Amino acid sequence: MGIYLNPGNKSFWEAIRSRIYVDKTNLITCTNQMLNTDEKYVCVSRPRRFGKSMTLAMLAAYYSVGCDSAELFHGRKIEDDITFRQHMNRYDVIYLNMQRFLIRAGKRDMLEYLEQAVTTDIYRVYGSLLPQQETSLVSVLEQLYDNGDKQFIFLIDEWDCVMRERQESEEMQRQYLDFLRDLLKDQPYVALAYVTGILPVKKYGQHSALNMFLEYSMTDQSIFEEYTGFTEDEVRGLCKQFGMSFAETGSWYDGYMFTEYQHIYNPKSVVEAMRRHKFSNYWTSTETYEALKIYMDMDFDGLRSDIVQMLGGGRVEVNTRSFQNDMRSFKTKDDLLTLLIHMGYLAYDSDTRKTFIPNKEIIEEFENAMSVGGWSDVMNVLKASEKLLEDTLNGNADSVARWLDRTHTEVASILTYNDENSQFLTDELFVKNLRVAIGLAYYSARKDYRLIREFPTGKGFADIVFLPLPHTGKPALVVELKYDKSVSMAIQQIKDRKYTQALEGYVGEILLVGINYDRENPDKPHSCVIEKAAIG
């Protein structure tokens, strides 16, 4: 076994010996189906700490010749697959961590350093099949194929590190992409190329240098959905094993969604929460909030409003197709939002093509980024939300109305909630902004509640429902919004349409909150009524 050629199974051995190991070995069924087909070029991009390196360790353990991994996979899901023994430990594997090469090369040329290191490893094993000393990695692999039909599986980690860490060096990026294209594209010695990173394949000019790759990213993971993070069933099992609240785990770490799997959890954070028996910011703590703040402060028209809408529980439309798959070539706010989706700070619904903040852990990271300046108006609203929630729970409707007036003042200019141009707002957009402002005003409620906008009731949709997390001892809130009507109409609609009956499985006190916004009364636009109800 070598360092780069057939690295063996020790990393996977360590993974399965860990206190928490979630079996994702069925991913191998996907890669086995891709071997030596037109689909053999695979680029799987996910946020940092979403299990990319562990996946590569598993694939290396499964495919690498020179080691016997049968015992490591005994009892795992993949063992029942018909192709399991057909391909296990039958391929030469070349495993490259590009970030390590970038770091170790220092002032030397990274690609020259890489070729020298990898060819040296190959010569130690297959030197007898190579008639002359070659320094070109491609030439070495071509000779091995010509002389012995040798095929290789390429596992490349941090493939995009050059794009992320050498953002200003376009020439280096081009050379790097050309190197990968020459190494992999249309080469008969490639049985499979599985590359991972945060970003999808980089584009430049009119075409992508690596256009042979099929991309599986945070906007469309396709067949790799269930391997992107932890599924609901996997997290439910962990919560039972470690005695943790499943509902609260979801509030903290759920929110990433795809076509088939609508609930994907952050694996790093779930593991840490189970291991430490405490909910906290584990994924975001691995990188400073400054990384997020840099992008939040970029001056793109409408970006600030979009972030505020998402903080208020809303979703915003985004065009992900113009993104150039780097961290520098931003032309619109959509490019920036798409980057944040790939980085894991935002989630994406491909059906509606909308993006949103996925969970409490990420919400707090946005709050940290805003707290250091430039977002004082929004931060004032967030800080005041504790008092608003307290007054709501105490039934102090007049105070709630005053706090909502204050929220309106603070965020009006950002949302175009109601300013001198409001006559040009459609009723639909006005109501949308009103819901966002209310969601923002009740920001602190997310510590103890799950916020559901447009909650389906069977007889329409309740505007906002706050379901308390288990063991909080707090009542549920059903909020109905009106404008230019009356708060009594809002309360009556909740009763007439029996919104509370839709809270299936909930037992306890419910507060009915009716809120009206009067556009003809700019000094005191909000009014509020709060009534108590109960289920069970």
Closest by alpha carbon to 312, among 463, 125, 488?
A: 463
Confidence band of 489 (pLDDT split at 50, 70, 90): very high
Q: What is the CATH number of domain 10-216?
A: 3.40.50
Residue 444 has pLDDT above 90, yes or no: no
Q: What is the mean pLDDT of the chain?
A: 89
Whole-number pLDDT of residue 419: 46
**Angle at CA of residue 91, ends 87 and 97, nearest 5°:** 120
The percentage of residues in the chain with a pLDDT greater than 90, rounded to a whole number, is 61
In terms of C-beta density within 10 A (0-12 exposed, 13-18 middle, 19 or more buried), how is residue 351 classed?
exposed
Class of domain 376-535: alpha beta
Per the structure block, which two tokens stand in for 470? 């288990």
324 or 458, greater pLDDT:
324
| CATH 3.40.50 domain extents, the chain | 10-216
Instruction: Name the least confident of 2-16, 38-52, 238-252, 469-483.
Output: 469-483
Confidence band of 318 (pLDDT split at 50, 70, 90): very high
136 or 437, greater pLDDT:
136
- φ, ψ of residue 84 to 5 degrees: the values are -55, -55
Instruction: Name the least confident of 138-152, 180-194, 294-308.
Output: 294-308
Determine the average pLDDT of the residues in 92-113.
94
Closest by alpha carbon to 55, among 97, 25, 95, 10?
A: 25
Residue 466: its H or E element: strand 461-468
Q: Quick one: residue 441, left, alpha or beta (phi over 0 = left, psi -120 to 50 = alpha)? A: alpha
pLDDT tens across 362-396, in order? Answer: 999 998 888 887 888 888 888 889 999 999 999 99
Percentages of the chain per state (helix, strand, coil), in multiples of 5? 45, 20, 35
Q: Where are the beta strands (DSSP E) in 121-189?
A: 152-157
With a CB cutoff of 8 Å and minimum separation 6, the contacts of 106 are none
Instruction: Name the least confident of 57-61, 252-256, 403-407, 501-505.
Output: 501-505
| CATH 3.40.1350 domain extents, the chain | 376-535
